[in-house]
Amino acid sequence: MIPGAQRGVERSRPLRADAERNRERIVTAAARLFAEQGLSVPLEDVARSAGVGVATLYRRFPTRTDLAIAAFERNMTSYEDAVDKALSNPVAWEGFRDLVYEVCELQASDPGLRALLTTAFPASSVIEQRATEAIEKLGQVIARAQEDGMLRPDIGVGDIVVMLLADAGVLEATREHAPGAWRRFAALMVDAFRVGPREPLPPPTPAEELRSSIAMLTGDTLRIESLADD
């Protein structure tokens, strides 16, 4: 869990136009850098990227937790919208299936979504409260598809969370040499969840692209091991 305040910064009065612009620049820069470099990125780098002074950043966001919550709120909204869309689909299985594909695609297009999934926030934070509500709705999406007899009865919310964690790993490993590999992975997962006839899968990722991805990961591992020996 990242250290800091137990809830996000609450603005008690409207910000001036210039202060609101600064806040938006800070949040945008933080979202990008947190996704690219992790939550340990120096906040001085965030301020520099946003084009503001460090004092301005700390005035708006006294702790790293406050900034992380603000940075990831928009990503949380993307997840919430996808779950709501699935619940509103009159065909329960299609709602579930499309939800899996949409969230995997969102993770592919926005590294911030992958970072959100693997970040632990304080239990009292707005992000965790919204995540709890989204998970409850995900349970409803699953239950609807199971009641229709299209989704395996032994599938639960935890299985979807694990699948998304695995998808985040696939995206990280293949982002440079096989950026479309996640599509087949998502289709395989949907097929595994489904009761009844199988659906056609997307084409397999060329072996050369996967080998390049593995080589890149191996290179990173060797580099880390060599640093540990220094």
Each domain of the chain, given as residue ranges in start order, spans: 18-62, 72-221
Comparing 21-30, 51-60, 121-130, 152-161, the range with the smallest average pLDDT is: 121-130
Comparing 37-41, 58-62, 100-104, the range with the smallest average pLDDT is: 37-41
Where residue 225 falls among pLDDT bands split at 50, 70, 90?
Answer: very low
Which has the closest alpha carbon to 50: 74, 67, 65? 67
Alpha-carbon distance values, 116 to 39, 55, 61, 202 (Å): 10, 26, 19, 27
Comparing 53-67, 117-131, 169-183, the range with the smallest average pLDDT is: 117-131
Calculate what percentage of the chain has a pLDDT beyond 70. Answer: 84
How does the average pLDDT of the chain come out, rounded?
Answer: 84
Q: Return the amino acid letter for 6.
A: Q
Q: What is the pTM of this model?
A: 0.74
Residues 6+ apart with CB under 8 A from 74: 31, 112
Where residue 14 falls among pLDDT bands split at 50, 70, 90?
Answer: low
* pLDDT of amino acid 213: 67
pLDDT tens-place string over residues 61-118:
999 989 989 998 888 899 999 999 999 999 999 999 999 999 999 999 887 777 777 7
The class (CATH top level) of 18-62 is: mainly alpha
**Does the structural domain 72-221 have CATH classification 1.10.860?**
no
C-beta separation of 193 from 152 below 8 A: yes
Euclidean distance between CA atoms 175 and 187, whole angstroms: 18
The per-residue b/e assignment along 149-173, b for 16 or more CB within 10 angstroms, e otherwise, is ebbeeebeeeebeebbeebbebbeb
